[in-house]
Structure formats: structure tokens, C-alpha cells
A and B are shown apart, each in its own frame.
Chain A
Amino acid sequence: TQLLEQSPQFLSIQEGENLTVYCNSSSVFSSLQWYRQEPGEGPVLLVTVVTGGEVKKLKRLTFQFGDARKDSSLHITAAQPGDTGLYLCAGFRLTNAGGTSYGKLTFGQGTILTVHP
């Protein structure tokens, strides 16, 4: 069973602080996806990292994929109250079933981020 350990589970910070969320696995994934989810809604894809060592930036968010493609991190600079939400990492592996491929996502447990004004 592939597991994805995400930490911390809860993060409560003041506006303007920096934070990092970690996602670690003993398994290699084809890619790793980061989602953000608001209460009562489905997860929304933020970024996909594919190449080992890859770094992607999305405004104040920086995503990094480990060299071995087993771990990833999300760093937020100068957090704002609008960043509050549930952040999920998910490891992607393309799997074949009966000659057709589908994408199997293994999710981390999630990080609930609260940014206080």
C-alpha cells in the first residue's frame, strides 16, 4: 500500500508569516499534485510537479518535488487570510486496468491552514 504522509495536520498562523507543508512517501510517484479545498467544495488543483527536483511558483506559493520523486513541499510566503483552507497533496501513478489507463491518486491526510488577520 502506498502511503503519503502529510504534515503538519493543523497550522494556525498570523497574517504575514511564512509556512511550509510537507508530503513524504516511501514510494515513487509519476507526479505529485497539490490541491486546495474550501469547506463544502471539491478540491481544486493548484499545481502538478513531475520532474525530480522541480520547483514551481504560483504567486506566493512555492512547490518543490524531491529529487527521488518521493516527497514534496509547499511553502507559502507572507500568508494571508485568503490562504485559509485544507491543503492536500496527492501522488499520481498511471495504472492499467484491462488495457485502459486511469490515474490513481493517493492522498495525504491534509493540512488545515488557518491564517488570522
Chain B
Amino acid sequence: SQTIHQWPATLVQPVGSPLSLECTVEGTSNPNLYWYRQAAGRGLQLLFYSVGIGQISSEVPQNLSASRPQDRQFILSSKKLLLSDSGFYLCAWDTGDNQPQHFGDGTRLSIL
């Protein structure tokens, strides 16, 4: 069966520090991968999506970047974190073809 892993689960970082969040999917090949951000108790905002290795598209301008170095690995990064980068970050995958997305358990990022 397919599984998705995100880490770390919780992260506290100072303003101006770098960021690297990882997401890996197992049990499927060539998935579409997504990074979302969620404000507390609210809906999800799509940040990046990837349809293949090295292919990244951004939905909104921001202080973050994404990379996909391997087929089932998706990384969310920042060189210098801002206070406004705080939030709950979720990774998701699907196989395309109108199939539902499956979400990881998220990373709670707090910027101090």
C-alpha cells in the first residue's frame, strides 16, 4: 500500500534561519506531489506542485521554494524564514487521472 511521510512533525525556527522540510511517498511511481500551507483551523492553500523529477510549479509568490530531487521525494525550503512563514505545512500526492489526493500528517512550523 501507498504511504506518505513528512518530517519533522514540529519545528521551531528563528527568523532569518533556513528551512528544509521533507516529504517522501512509498508504494507508487511517478506521483504528482503537492505542498500546501494551512492557517489554524482553515482551508489549505496550494504552494507548489510537481508532476515529475525536477519539475516544480509555484501557485503563489512567496519566500519559499520546492525541489524534487527524486521521483518520490519532495522538499520545501527557504533561505531566510519570515515570521509570516509560520503555519502548518502539508504534503500530498496523487496519481493524476482524477484520483483523490492523499495527505501526510503535516509539519507545524513556528517562527520566533
Contact = CB atoms under 8 A, between A and B. Distances in A.
Interface of A: 4, 6, 30-31, 33, 40-45, 48, 86, 88, 90, 92, 94, 97-98, 100-105, 107-110, 112
Contact of A48 (B90, B92, B100): B100
A18 B62 CA distance: 41
Given A40-B105, A104-B49, 12 more contacts: A4-B43, A30-B98, A42-B103, A45-B100, A86-B41, A88-B44, A94-B97, A100-B51, A103-B32, A104-B46, A107-B45, A110-B42
Nearest to A6: B43
A88 B101 CA distance: 13
Contact of A42 (B32, B55, B106): B106
A41 B106 contact: yes
B101 A103 contact: yes
A1 to B, nearest CB: 11
B79 interface: no
Which of B41, B42, B44, B49 has the largest count of A CB atoms less than 10 A from its CB?
B44
What 9 A-B pairs come out closest when comparing CB atoms?
A42-B103, A107-B43, A100-B51, A102-B32, A107-B44, A109-B43, A101-B96, A110-B43, A45-B100
